[in-house]
Chains A and B, each alone.
Chain A
Amino acid sequence: MPRRTAIVGVGQTYHKARRPDVNIGELCAEAARACLEDADLTVGDVDAFILGNMELFEGRYSQDMWQVDFVGAFGKPGIRVTTGGTTGATLACVAFEYVASGVYDTVMALGFEKQSEGDTRAGLKTVSDPLWIRWLTTGAIGYFSRQARYYMRETGAPEHMGSLVRMRLAEHAKRNPHAHLRLEIKNIEEAMKAPYLIPPLRQTDMCPTSEGACAIVVTSEERVSKMARRPVWVKDWVTVHKEAMYIRGGRHSVEDLTMAASKLFRRNGITKPREQISVAEIYAPSTWAELEWLEAYGFCEKGQAWRLEEEGHFYWNREFPVNPSGGVVCTNPIGATGLIRVAECALQLRGDAGEHQIRREATLGFATAWGGSGWTVAVLLSAQKE
């Protein structure tokens, strides 16, 4: 029987397109120290460290070894996790598993990225088989323009919907001191002036490349009782793997998202997701993906998300807040991005999200990560131990 597990501390750096003020180790130290301070712990209280980022972005091998001194992991056990876009959420899941198994009591998970130090687009192009289809890849922008077209065609969503989602996320990001892009968008006309990347995908529809780091501390039920900080309980988590090119021949498909959420909801008695879950921090690299994926996760019927968006349903102070942090479209240090989803959900459930604290009662939180070419991690957090 796995042990009950809780998140007792979170820490984030501030995020920018470039952070030449620090090296990677110093960036990690910033998140680790913020996390320990939040948890009111010292490194001596942490039994193991899970570190992770993208494989090829900064051109360094064994990054976990490089960061050991900076996060206080000297002489302690731990591994590096590098599962592409899902890295951050996988870091959290491994920490949950380390603690739930009973092998370690208190574990830190830390994700980071410093994208300006290498070439993100070159790194991402290595995601597909060099002998088969790599020559054709258009990276994330190509994938998400196709996704946007597909969503418009299948649901009848008008082209301004991407910009409407961005207006919500921009409003959320303004309220979040850790968000990277803080665009002032006055109205939909102004939002629609953003140039196209690949139609209908505009520059403002797509996530940025950010630099930053995020850390959480996870501990066992026994240790929680000795800590002052309000714990957030880890209810469940699911990972789904898929490779899209060989199975689907490049055809757009969201089956991995549906598989992950339906499994998570089924085994936790979630039958009315928008009612039972208070907040969603979903890893959606584009505005259009946010709409389609809310449907794929089962939060609404197919074709309903853009209509709910038009009604303002997903704002931080409304019925079902989606990405009150501003989401991936505003902040994207890739190796940390999935962990930020988990950390932000935890802050919401603690009631510590400040200016972007949701207005409805925060009882259950849903955090996800996604990676090319079709992986999903979904995490369910709870304010109550039950």
Chain B
Amino acid sequence: MRDEAELLVQERILEVRFHWSAGPYLGRFLGMLKEEGRLWVVRCPGCKRILMPPRIVCGICYTETPPFPNGWFPLSGRGRLLDWERVIYPQMDPETGTIRPEPYIHGTFALDEGVLFTHYLGPEDLDESTLREGLRVEAVVKPKEERVGKPTDIRYFKLVEEENG
């Protein structure tokens, strides 16, 4: 077995730029998020499930969905905590290549209209002992001047009081 020190290993760093087309469905969804701060979705005309984000066809029944605004509607941004993970391991942010500050909580939320969404739970809700399935949550949206048309225009979800009635 040769000594590793004798062996040649060369290092390079590559920087690559990408330009991704969002298309008219996802593009409109992100555009409306930037414009209004709301999540606009479409119901599949075939199997009636909600597509979030909207796509040109339903991935389950392959029915074509109508272009904006036909049949599109905004979600309330409210729902319930379904599941979560408390991330304590240093994770790379794929947007920047830097390490995200931890801990943070990554949640799955069942929105009131019957669609699932994953996002962060806010910094005020980091105490895992207070979390349980079914807690009421609400999207915290960035102010309009900070919104750029990315899912992160929603800053995070936060726990809110149960409404009466």
Type the 1/0 row for B1-35, where 1 means its CB is closer than 8 Å to any CB of A.
11010010100001000101010001000100000
Given contacts A121-B92, A130-B18, A133-B118, contact A142 B106 (CB under 8 A): yes
Ordered nearest first, which 8 A-B pairs have the shortest CB separation? Answer: A249-B116, A250-B118, A125-B94, A197-B89, A134-B94, A135-B95, A20-B7, A146-B85
Q: Is the CB of B97 within 8 A of A138?
A: no
Among listed A98-106, A214-222, A240-248, interface-contacting one: A240-248
Interface residues on A, range: 35 or more
Give residues in B with beta carbon < 8 Å to A: 1-2, 4, 7, 9, 14, 18, 20, 22, 26, 30, 51-53, 55, 59-60, 82-83, 85-89, 91-95, 97, 106, 108, 115-120, 150-152
Q: Choose among B59, B83, B94, B151 the residue that contacts A251 (Cβ–Cβ < 8 A).
A: B83
Q: Which of B22, B83, B119, B150 has the most CB of A within 10 A?
A: B83
A198 at the interface (CB under 8 A from B): yes
A21 at the interface (CB under 8 A from B): yes
Q: How far is the CB of B19 from chain A (nearest CB, A)?
A: 11
Give residues in A with beta carbon < 8 Å to B: 20-21, 59, 121-122, 125-126, 130-139, 141-142, 145-146, 149-150, 196-199, 243, 246-252
Given contacts A198-B85, A246-B55, A249-B115, contact A122 B92 (CB under 8 A): yes
Cα of A146 to Cα of B150 in the assembled complex, Å: 25
Q: Choose among A21, A131, A133, A251 the residue that contacts B82 (Cβ–Cβ < 8 A).
A: A251
Q: Is the CB of A131 within 8 A of B83?
A: no
Q: How far is the CB of B12 from chain A (nearest CB, A)?
A: 8
Q: How far is the CB of B86 from chain A (nearest CB, A)?
A: 6
Cα of A59 to Cα of B53 in the assembled complex, Å: 31
Q: Is the CB of B9 within 8 A of A138?
A: no
Q: Which of A122, A141, A249 has the most CB of B within 10 A?
A: A249
Q: Is the CB of B14 within 8 A of A59?
A: yes
- B117: which A residues are within 8 A, CB to CB? 249-250
- A248: which B residues are within 8 A, CB to CB? 116
Provide 27 A-B residue pairs closer than 8 Å at the C-beta atoms, listed in order of the A residue: A21-B2, A122-B94, A126-B94, A130-B20, A130-B94, A132-B26, A134-B94, A135-B95, A135-B151, A136-B106, A136-B118, A136-B119, A136-B120, A136-B151, A141-B89, A141-B91, A142-B85, A142-B91, A145-B85, A146-B85, A149-B85, A196-B88, A199-B86, A246-B53, A249-B116, A249-B117, A251-B116
Q: Is the CB of A249 within 8 A of B52?
A: yes
Q: Is the CB of A131 within 8 A of B2?
A: no
Given contacts A135-B151, A142-B106, contact A198 B88 (CB under 8 A): yes
